[in-house]
């Protein structure tokens, strides 16, 4: 389980340090998500990217819709700092724009607190940033209240853990046995259950919610030594990281040998790649509750 509080502390700092590797892993997720966002994004107005990380989705949207003002929101200060640096001139006022009228900006804070300051929103998006809410109905309801009636919500999330090779193969390698998932818990697979997520969205004031499943490449290792590169990634990101951190040196070495064997079996064209199973959700804001 990974909570929002952890993103504002240890987890956020780790992802900021590894952002180039995580962006590489998520590239094919973005390749599916971004066109869906573009298909419903208005030409003008205001949009929010919830759990924006280092800003890739917000920046892609801002580039595709020059008339749309986009605000990324995240709990992790290190991630927001990277997003602001990456934004460059898109986040800087020009001579004919006031400082508060930038095309894209990034704000640190809880989405439930920041969203009301942006309302009414014409679009809300998220790339794997909405699975960590302690109270998902309340958080999605805050999004709905900040949106114009009929405004689209588009987000991606992982499907079931056992469908995600990058997680299940690592679980087997480190000897982890994930517990049952009979109820919601914040974390990477918090919204994996399609029916439960549909109920959450309906209870929060979103209508016409529908999800499409996709299986995409999850690239974790490349360069001259793709296995070493992938192992460096999994030491800090993913299901093996906590197990490795807690292991004694001898045990850690044995676990890493098992992980390396899994990685070697997944080398294709000089890169280590797994499969990520995801949902792309699209919904519309109803009348305010």
- 83-135 confidence digits (pLDDT tens): 999 998 665 544 444 445 579 999 999 999 999 999 999 999 999 999 999 99
pLDDT digits (tens, 9 = 90+) for 134-187: 999 999 999 999 999 999 999 999 999 999 999 999 999 988 877 666 678 899
Average pLDDT, the chain: 91
Residues 58-74 as b/e (b if ≥16 CB within 10 A, e otherwise) read: bbbbbeebeebbbbbbb
> Residue 271 falls within a domain, yes or no?
no
> Residue 239 falls within a domain, yes or no?
no
- In the predicted model, is pLDDT for residue 64 greater than 70? yes
Give the count of beta carbons closer than 10 Å to the beta carbon of residue 115.
Answer: 24
Q: Which sign does the torsion angle of CA 57, 63, 68, 71 carry?
A: positive
pLDDT at 96: 43
CA distances (Å), 167 to each of 8, 257, 269, in order?
A: 23, 17, 22
CA distance 238 to 11: 11
Number of domains in the chain: 1
Q: Which sign does the torsion angle of CA 283, 26, 214, 239 carry?
A: negative
> Residue 222 falls within a domain, yes or no?
no
Residues 249-280 as b/e (b if ≥16 CB within 10 A, e otherwise) read: eeeeeebbeebbebbeebeeeebbbbbbbbbb
Give the count of beta carbons closer than 10 Å to the beta carbon of residue 172.
Answer: 12
242 or 33: whose pLDDT is higher?
A: 33
> Residue 32 falls within a domain, yes or no?
yes
pLDDT at 101: 56
> Residue 91 falls within a domain, yes or no?
yes
pLDDT at 91: 58
Residues 6+ apart with CB under 8 A from 108: 74, 75, 76, 77, 80
> Residue 63 falls within a domain, yes or no?
yes
Which of 227, 228, 225 lies closest to 265 in space, CA to CA? 227
Whether 241 and 235 have beta carbons less than 8 Å apart is answered as yes
> Residue 237 falls within a domain, yes or no?
no
- In the predicted model, is pLDDT for residue 53 greater than 50? yes
CA distance 184 to 131: 10
CA distance 212 to 148: 24
> Residue 103 falls within a domain, yes or no?
yes
Instruction: pLDDT band for 238, please (50, 70, 90 cuts).
Output: confident
Joined together, the tokens standing for residue 49 give: 């990217």
CA distance 85 to 78: 11
Domain that holds residue 48: 4-160+180-216+277-285
pLDDT at 95: 42
Find the CATH number of the domain harbouring 57. 3.40.50.150
**Beta strand pairing call for 267-268 and 123-127:** unpaired
Joined together, the tokens standing for residue 173 give: 């390698």
pLDDT at 12: 79
């Amino acid at each position: 389980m990974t909570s929002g509080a952890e993103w504002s502390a240890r987890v956020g700092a780790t992802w900021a340090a590894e952002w180039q590797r995580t962006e590489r892993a998520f590239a094919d997720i973005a390749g599916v998500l971004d066109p869906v966002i573009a298909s419903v994004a208005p030409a003008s107005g205001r949009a929010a990217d919830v759990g924006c990380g280092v800003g890739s989705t917000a920046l892609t949207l801002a580039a595709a819709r020059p008339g749309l003002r986009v605000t990324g929101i995240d709990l992790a200060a290190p991630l927001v700092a990277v997003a602001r640096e990456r934004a460059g001139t898109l986040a800087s006022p020009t001579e004919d724009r006031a400082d508060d009228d930038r095309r894209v900006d990034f704000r640190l804070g809880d989405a439930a607190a920041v969203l009301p300051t942006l309302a009414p929103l014409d679009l809300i998006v998220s790339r794997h940033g909405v699975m960590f809410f302690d109270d998902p109905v309340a958080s999605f309801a805050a999004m709905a209240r900040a949106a114009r009636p009929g405004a689209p919500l588009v987000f991606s999330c992982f499907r079931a853990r056992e469908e995600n090779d990058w997680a299940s193969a690592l679980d087997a390698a480190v000897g982890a046995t994930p517990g049952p998932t009979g109820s919601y818990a914040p974390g990477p697979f918090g919204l994996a259950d399609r029916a439960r997520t549909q109920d959450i969205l309906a209870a929060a004031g979103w209508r016409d919610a529908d999800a499409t499943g996709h299986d995409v490449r999850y690239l974790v290792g490349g360069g001259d030594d793709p296995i070493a590169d992938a192992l460096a990634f999994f030491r800090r990101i993913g299901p093996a990281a906590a197990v490795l951190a807690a292991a004694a040196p001898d045990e850690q070495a044995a676990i890493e040998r098992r992980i390396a064997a899994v990685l070697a079996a997944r080398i294709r064209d000089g890169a280590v790649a797994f499969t990520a199973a995801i949902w792309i959700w699209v919904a519309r804001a109803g009348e305010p509750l």
